[in-house]
Amino acid sequence: MHSIRMKITAMTIAAILTSLLTFIVIGFFTLGKENDQNSVEKMNLLSQNAAQTADARLNSLKTAVDITAHIAEHSLDTVNLKNYGVSLASLDITWRTPEQRKQLDTFMQKHLREVQQAFGNVADYTSGIVSYYYYINPEIGTSEQGFFYSKIGKPSFVKNDSMISAQPDPADKENSAWYFEPVTKGRACWVGPYKAHLLGKLPTVSYVMPIYNYGVLIGVLGMDTLFYSITSPVQAMRVYDTGFAFLLNDKGRIIFHPSISAGKTPEEISTGLSAKMFQEPNNGNHLIRYKMNGEERQLSYSTLSNSMKLVVTAPVAEIFSSWRQTTRFILLAAIAILAVFIVATLFIAGALTKPLLQLAQASQKLAAGNFNAELDYEGDDELGIVTRSFRQMRDHLQMYISDLNSRAYSDALTGIKNKGAFDIYAGRLNNSIKLGAKQGSPEFAVVMFDCNWLKEINDAYGHERGDIYLRATSHAICETFTHSPVFRLGGDEFATLLQGSDYKHRDELLQAFDKKTEEVAAAVSHPWEKVDVARGIAVFRPGEDAGVEQVLRRADEQMYENKRQLKLEETPPQPAY
């Protein structure tokens, strides 16, 4: 006959063993699924941040062409070309009088001077531009052909008349796509990458726009940047320890890869990938894993403004290395705790009935993910040791999970919240907006900030000074908007969501921020210690804005307008030798 002590001991051991196994099994599967989702979110953030970096060069090029095209169209609007014999109905120059031909040539000379002057000014302040041009439609019948400026191998842009005199050939698709593709589409478009014969066969990406006047094609203007300027930051990017980034074109073929030649498809280099997987703008919450050279990898991708796909990839083993270490620690801790409890129950089973019940209940709560389990037994015995160890394990686990969440949603450089945290705040506001009909729409505003001259500071003084510049900007924003969350959205962009008191006093806060930047600028002598920021604000408009995205877009547009004005007024920092 077994004694009560043995029965209690056996029951206690069984209960503890069951609880620990339940905790381990549930924790393993729960954390496994959660870590899969977290890995997708982290990889998406890396992909989005990398895309923003690569898109910065493309967007600046597009903006430069858009500005110049607007000036060109405005110049054409000042006259009616029909008076010179140019109309959509007929481009036959034989019907023109000598006076009309002379007037047309005179006007086109003036038009080209205005466009070239504007184009040159814009190109000088747009980084990465290697050439800009305006090719006049030869069917118009003017003696003016346009202009072509490049600075390949030159410190500044140099005019090259021989380049513009070469008429585009429709049969030469690669070398003439910059002209015929926008003309065929009837709108601005990206071309490339292609080997531009006008730039020494260097791989080039172009943004070109057709210029019309009353339906008549006047010409095509555009800008070029070397494909290297896009691939360089992509090649320099590192994902975890051995991960990397690469580029696909809109057909799903590789156009840049650190170790694979261009032209291949995902199917040719891996198992589990296909071009169809990259048809969406991004992978969203979809988990994409594949095998390459016998190694399991995971990727995320985003679409650049010119329809290229920027893909980041890393080995699954590196992505989950910290999670596996945590799991191993939990298993070892569970085994140690179980051993301690077995030894303790053999000696003092009778005195452990009440504390053991409390411990079993606490372990069940921990297994369910509740970290508020009470473990208040402080006896100076084996059960007290086990209880304190269990409490320590709970605190450590809670600390590890909190640390993981903190790393995922905070910016390592500045310590403020990152883009992932902004998306969570935006999601909450969007939910409030959807419930606005019943509970009243929320009042909020978005302020966007963009550091001016960051690239120049990085180039002139080094990235360490650039980091100081970013931290100074973050500090100034946080000191001004003390009651609002501040986010670093990536690169040199920051944002804050104003609600409550900060929302009501937003104008005063913006003035205070401007004053603070002036005070900082007056108090320091080095460019990287100053706070030179373009800003834009947009207020949520109920009934017009569907969500935070529309407000953010308006704030971003206002900020870029402010940035454009500031850059026209300011001089970029220069290194002091």
CATH classification of the domain holding 504:
3.30.70.270
Confidence label for 152 from pLDDT (cuts 50, 70 and 90): confident
> Is 47 a domain residue?
no
Instruction: Provide the pLDDT for residue 450.
Output: 94
Q: Under DSSP, is residue 396 helix (H, G, I), strand (E, B) or coil?
A: helix
Only one residue has tokens 């870029």, namely 560
Burial of 175 (0-12, 13-18, 19+ CB in 10 A): middle
* Local confidence band at 348 (pLDDT 50, 70, 90 cut-offs): low
C-beta of residue 334 within 8 angstroms of C-beta of residue 386: no
Give the mean model confidence (pLDDT) for residues 551-568: 92
- My answer on whether 559 and 430 are in the same domain is yes
Q: Are 551 and 440 in contact (CB under 8 A)?
A: no
**Statement: residue 354 has pLDDT above 70:** no
For the ranges 155-169, 333-347, 424-438, 525-539, the one whose mean pLDDT is highest: 525-539
Which range of 201-215, 325-339, 397-411 scores highest in mean pLDDT? It is 201-215
Report how far residue 118's alpha carbon sits from residue 132's, in angstroms, rounded to the nearest whole number. 11
pLDDT the model gives residue 20: 67
Scanning 349-462, the segments in alpha helix (DSSP H) are 353-367, 382-409, 419-434, 436-439, 454-461
Cα 117 to Cα 4, 110, 244, distances in angstroms: 99, 11, 41
Among the candidates 223, 249, 271, a domain finishes at 223
Question: In which domain, by residue range, is 175 found?
Answer: 79-223
Instruction: Specify whether 214 is located in the same domain as 271.
Output: no
- Write the DSSP symbol of residue 137: P
Reply yes or no on whether the pLDDT at 357 is more than 70. Answer: no
Give the residue from 223, 246, 268 where a domain finishes: 223
Residue 48 within any structural domain of the chain: no
Q: Which of 319, 343, 360 is the last residue of a domain?
A: 319
Q: What is the CATH number of the domain that holds 159?
A: 3.30.450.20
Find how far residue 229's CA is from the centre of its chain: 17
pLDDT higher than 60, residue 430:
yes
- Can you give the three-state secondary structure of 434-482, one letter per residue? HCHHHHCCCCCEEEEEEECCHHHHHHHHCHHHHHHHHHHHHHHHHHHCC
> Each residue of 3-21: pLDDT tens digit?
666 776 677 777 777 776 7
- pTM for the model stands at 0.51
For 327-353, letters b (16+ CB in 10 Å) and e give beebeebbeebbebbeebbeeebeebe
**C-alpha to C-alpha distance for 528 and 526, rounded to whole angstroms:** 6
Are 338 and 310 in a shared domain? Answer: no
Count: domains in the chain? 4
Q: Which residue type, as a one-letter code, is found at position 398?
A: Q
The answer to whether position 55 is within a domain reads no
Please state the rounded mean pLDDT for residues 315-329. 80
The verdict on 432 and 516 lying in the same domain is yes
Q: Indicate whether 130 belongs to any domain.
A: yes
213 φ, ψ (degrees, to nearest 5): -140, 110
Q: Is residue 471 domain-shared with residue 563, that is, in the same domain?
A: yes
Residues 421 and 506 in one domain: yes
**41, part of any domain:** no
Residue 430 shares a structural domain with residue 564: yes
Do 198 and 274 sit in the same domain of this protein?
A: no
How do 288-292 and 493-498 pair as beta strands?
A: unpaired
In a domain, 255, yes or no: yes
User: Rounded to whole angstroms, how far apart are CA atoms 467 and 421?
Assistant: 21
Cα distances (angstroms) measured from residue 243 to each of 208, 240, 290: 34, 6, 14
Across 73-82, 259-268, 435-444, which has the greatest mean pLDDT? 259-268
Q: Which two tokens stand for residue 298?
A: 């995971």
pLDDT at 23: 66
User: Can you give the pLDDT at residue 327?
Assistant: 73
- Tell me what the mean pLDDT of segment 545-562 comes to: 94
Element (H, E) at 219: strand 216-226
E strands, 15-159, are: 129-136, 146-150, 158-159
What pLDDT sits at residue 88?
52
CB atoms within 10 A of CB 376: 9
Q: What is the mean pLDDT of residues 447-458?
A: 93
d(Cα 297, Cα 312) in Å, to the nearest integer? 10
Between the CA of residue 21 and those of 25, 99, 325, 340, 434, what are the distances in Å? 6, 96, 19, 16, 43
pLDDT at 539: 96
The confidence score (pLDDT) of residue 24 equals: 67
Clarify whether residues 502 and 447 are in a common domain: yes
Assess whether pLDDT exceeds 90 at residue 333: no
Tell me, yes or no, whether 438 lies in a domain: yes
Mean pLDDT of the chain: 84
In a domain, 356, yes or no: yes
The verdict on 426 and 546 lying in the same domain is: yes
Tell me: do 121 and 198 sit in the same domain: yes
Q: Which of 148, 182, 173, 227 is nearest to 235 (CA)?
A: 227
Is residue 564 over pLDDT 80? yes
User: Are 194 and 89 in the same domain?
Assistant: yes
Cβ contact 469:416 at 8 Å? no
Please write the tens of the pLDDT for every residue from 454-505.
Answer: 999 999 999 999 999 999 999 999 999 999 999 999 889 999 999 999 999 9
Give tens-digit pLDDT for 52-107.
888 888 898 899 999 999 998 888 877 767 666 666 555 555 666 788 888 888 88
